[in-house]
Amino acid sequence: MQRFRLLFKLLLIVGIIILLLLPQAMLMGVIGERVGWRTTAYESIGQSWPGGQTLAGPVVVVPYSYEQVVTETVKDAQDKEKKFTKLVKTQEYFYLIPKQLAVDSQLTSSIRYRGIYQVPIYSNQIKVKGQFETQALVDFFASFKNKKVQFEQAFLTVLVNDQRGIASTPTLNWQNTKLAFKPSANLNNAAGMHVNLPDMNKVANASLPFDFDLELRGMASMAFALLSENSNLTMQSNWSHPKFTGELLPETREINDKGFKAVWHTSAFSYNVQNSINAAQNGQHEELLNHAVGVELLQPVDVYQQSERSVKYAFLFIVLTFTVLILFELIKKLRIHPVQYTFVGLALIVFYLLLISLSEHLDFKTAYLIATLASTGLLTLYFSAILKNRRLGLLLGGGLSVLYGLLYMILQTEDNALLMGSLLIFAILAGLMLATRHLDWYDLTNNHLSLKSETPPNNTP
């Protein structure tokens, strides 16, 4: 009967651990909810400030048309087929990319707040220069004599994701002439800017240098689609936590606490520029923006990601703490009630709730320290009371503090988190096995059972 009572208590403790998985799951839900609120904050600021930007171009677009005879077959009222021919006029565009392109980007970032959430925005001073070679244009139209070229309608276009980000009217320096850009990319509904080019019919076999400056505003990310045979892109910023994105990483980069500098060198072979041009000629102008390189402005520490990773270790902390308490029950011949186990488990769970809420207002390091001190302080006092031994309470509280310190180290080394977590679990298991290797578990169990049987009932007069 006594052995059954011990087994029942162990099963009850296992049940408490399983029930504590519910608040752990609720914590994950809280983190997901807060991430959703942060996304809403981004979207809210995005309604009144340009979003992530991608700049593509410049590209010279030359309209042309041609006529062709088309034969069609129709059925008359007697269901007989009749063929007739008609002259169809087709309008298309030739896209000329620069031979050389150099882009210098000076990105100045700042923070906007929506409630407690921080959103990085920027103002980007962009200098673009390069040159077009018109030989490809001449060769294309020379091979199709029946094409009528509308040189007077030729224009230079630059595409951007969010046209609201163009802060002022840029000016194109073109053949010793200053030309003001106009809104829209002039390609169906594509956003951006364009400028009409004069006298394109007089520039056969010519090299056409150009340059323009642009102030482009945006939020969270900036990318460039380098539509050129040879391109150089230099990006500098005061943001010290960049994440480089796109199809090519920068050839050189420097990152420090004052910001970053990155340099890309690309060619038409680096990513297939011609495929993007072909897609644009077929009306898919968004393809011009898809092949880009750039940067995301990451938050220094994603507190929700860190909190989510820490919550995953809650089960380990609960199991380990309960295991130590069970050992103290057996070795020190103590009696700890299941309700007390429940309070200890809840105190361990509350640590993560404190961490999540504090990290929204303080830096993660400070929030983690406060949550650790609060949790271990409470548990140290409680351990001292239920174990009826202040020294054991301090020992357990100190051990828990060490575990929280090791967990913080794991959270800071994301690349090696799995390795360090595995080593921590192995070390804990090895420590428990070595510390209890000489214990006579049968004797401890019998002593614990006899302790229960000898405990006099609490009879109230």
pLDDT tens sequence across 321-333: 888 888 877 777 7
Is the domain of 340 the same as that of 253?
A: no
Is the domain of 22 the same as that of 141?
A: no
- The one-letter amino acid at 436: T
Which of 269, 297, 325 is a domain's end point? 297
**For 39-54, how does the pLDDT look when each residue is reduced to its tens digit (9 = 90+)?**
888 778 878 888 889 8
Which of 297, 326, 356 is a domain's end point? 297
**For 134-182, how does the pLDDT look when each residue is reduced to its tens digit (9 = 90+)?**
887 777 777 766 777 777 888 899 989 888 898 888 999 988 889 999 9
Selection from 102, 99, 101, 128 nearest residue 206 by Cα: 99
Please state, in angstroms and rounded to a whole number, the distance separating the CA atoms of residues 149 and 135.
15
Residue 151: per-residue pLDDT: 79
Selection from 127, 134, 101 nearest residue 266 by Cα: 101
Torsion of CA 121, 123, 129, 130, to 10 degrees: 10
**CA dist list (Å): 437 to 276, 431, 440:** 69, 10, 9
Residue 77: per-residue pLDDT: 65
Output the six-digit token pair for 286.
Answer: 């968004």
Is the domain of 414 the same as that of 376?
A: yes
**For 338-379, how does the pLDDT look when each residue is reduced to its tens digit (9 = 90+)?**
888 889 899 999 998 999 889 888 888 899 999 999 999 999
Do β-strands 171-174 and 148-149 pair in parallel, antiparallel, or remain unpaired?
A: unpaired
Q: Is residue 109 part of a domain?
A: yes
Is the domain of 258 the same as that of 312?
A: no
Task: Tell the burial category of 69 from Cβ atoms under 10 Å away from its Cβ (0-12, 13-18, 19+).
Answer: exposed
**Which long-range CB contacts under 8 A does 437-443 form with residues at least 24 apart?**
439/331
Q: Is residue 389 part of a domain?
A: yes
Q: Is residue 44 part of a domain?
A: no
Instruction: Give the single-character DSSP code of 456.
Output: P
Q: Are 401 and 376 in contact (CB under 8 A)?
A: yes
Is the domain of 403 the same as that of 280?
A: no
- State the total domains in the chain: 2
Domain of 277? 52-297
Which of 265, 297, 329 is a domain's end point? 297
Is the domain of 148 the same as that of 285?
A: yes
Q: Is residue 45 part of a domain?
A: no
Is the domain of 267 the same as that of 395?
A: no
Q: What is the pTM of this model?
A: 0.73
Q: Are 304 and 35 in contact (CB under 8 A)?
A: yes
Q: Is residue 47 part of a domain?
A: no
Is the domain of 292 the same as that of 331?
A: no
**For 224-268, how does the pLDDT look when each residue is reduced to its tens digit (9 = 90+)?**
988 888 889 999 999 888 888 888 889 899 998 888 999 999 887
- Cα 276 to chain centroid distance, Å, stands at 26
- Residue 58, preceding peptide bond in cis (omega within 30° of 0): yes
Is the domain of 254 the same as that of 317?
A: no
Q: Is residue 43 part of a domain?
A: no
- Tell me: pLDDT of 85 over 80: no
Q: Between helices 417-435 and 314-331, what is the axis angle to 10°? A: 10
Q: Are 239 and 105 in contact (CB under 8 A)?
A: no
Which residues, in sequence order, are CB contacts of 190 under 8 Å at separation 6+? Answer: 159, 184, 285, 286, 288
Is the domain of 98 the same as that of 205?
A: yes
Do β-strands 192-196 and 242-246 pair in parallel, antiparallel, or remain unpaired?
A: unpaired
Q: Is residue 460 part of a domain?
A: no
Is the domain of 282 the same as that of 366?
A: no
Q: Is residue 46 part of a domain?
A: no
Is the domain of 136 the same as that of 278?
A: yes
